[in-house]
Structure 1
Amino acid sequence: MTALLPALLPALAAGAVVGLALGGLGGGGSMLAVPALVYLLGFSPAGAGTASLLIVAVTSLTGLLAHAKGGRVRWRTGALFAAAGLPAAAAGGALSAHVPAGLLTAAFALLAATAAGRMLRPARGRAPARHSPARAAAAGAGLGAVTGLLGVGGGFLAVPALVSALGFTMAEAVGTSLLVICANSLAALVPRLGTTGGLDWAVVAPFTAAAVLGAWDGKRLADRFAGRTLQRAFAAALLAVAALMGAGALLS
């Protein structure tokens, strides 16, 4: 038991943070989980990617159920949005092999900063609902292509897309984003299922359990704040991600 403590405590702490982000903001799971698994818990990048997909899929499903109880998930639009993004994500992933890593990182940083700017734009009344199937499919395909090309950003980019392109409220965007994340994570996890036997379950299991509990706490926190407050918090997180990835692009 003593030998497990050095890894167990960081796993629990990191899992709680990942769950809070997913449950409260509807994104950020993989962007937080992968660095924690690599730098805090000693996973290889490949192992961290597989473990992150598993953790995020389970945690997103938990958060999705919590938000669904509050009527914050637009199932039809979210399912269409997610389905349209899967083939586009595959195409983007194939294309990414031919693009320099530094350019991909810089592109994501610019995209994250742009999305943050749109979220911070002063509200001029509530945006009209635009939940048309064609618009949802187009927005989902665009997001899928971007996330497949850049390899990150499912939730962090889904929420701004749902708010800006489809006129969702922030609460609806957070809840529905979890449906998109869950679908994308499972789709990306399936080809890696043969590698899950090599994962350190003594770390992955408590990490996932803490993330699941954190997702419920994140949902409760989201209940306490107005949509505009959540948008500002989300935009601040986007700007932080943009700054970190922009610095990484410059240093690479």
Structure 2
Amino acid sequence: MVAFRKLTEAGAVPVLITLLIFVTAWEGAIALFHIPNFVLPHLTQIAVRLSGDSHLLADALAATLSESLGGFVIGAVLGVAIASLMVLIVPLERSLLPVAVAINSVPIVAYVPVTLVWFGIGPASKLALVALSTGFVVLINALHGLKQAETGAIDLMRSFGASRLSILRRLQLPAAMPSVVNGLRVAIPRSMIVAIVSEMLGAYRGIGRIIFESMQQVDNLGVWVAVLSASLASVLLYTALVWIDRKLVWWN
């Protein structure tokens, strides 16, 4: 009973219930619809394969995570910086925002051949694609949040002689933090998606490379192992971001 109370206080019970429903639905669908293993393998088969290929998957996950996190950080910093410049210099928003929307209206996969030519088949091309994809999300959310500061508070600071930069740093950026964090929450799984897709189209290593090679070898079990490994890594990253959110935006 004490252990159950501790799990409840930690918020682990809903996660465990969801996990139980997921496992039951997966295995139940296989049994009910007689799904062959090459279409949908049993979770036990995936676990055994995962254990056997743990070293290979660990190296691939490390490569993918370094690309996704590196691009995520670059994109987030650039997104907040550009949004801040747009608030400080109003004409920049009217000139740069349509360009950003136009660039991101094209599926990110369309830029893969270009980045491979520009940055090569190594990690640099993946960092560029992830930064481009996540930076736009953070930019839009940061721009929205920076405009949420109360006009009266801005006027009050101006009446005391505060500069635009001081108002941005002391008022608008703290007011924008909830919106920025929301953008980061959307961007973190997106960074993994973009990194994996770009690896599938050209990479020396990574989870995307394993998925591509498994597909070529008609190794569906290998595909599922790689996909579930990437999904688990994404969930852990998102959980870490939620924890950071609670520390940074404690007043929200």
TM-score (norm 2): 0.33
- TM-score, with length taken from structure 1: 0.33
Highest relative contact order (Cα 8 Å, sep 6+), 1 or 2? Answer: 1
Specify the structure having the higher radius of gyration (Cα).
2
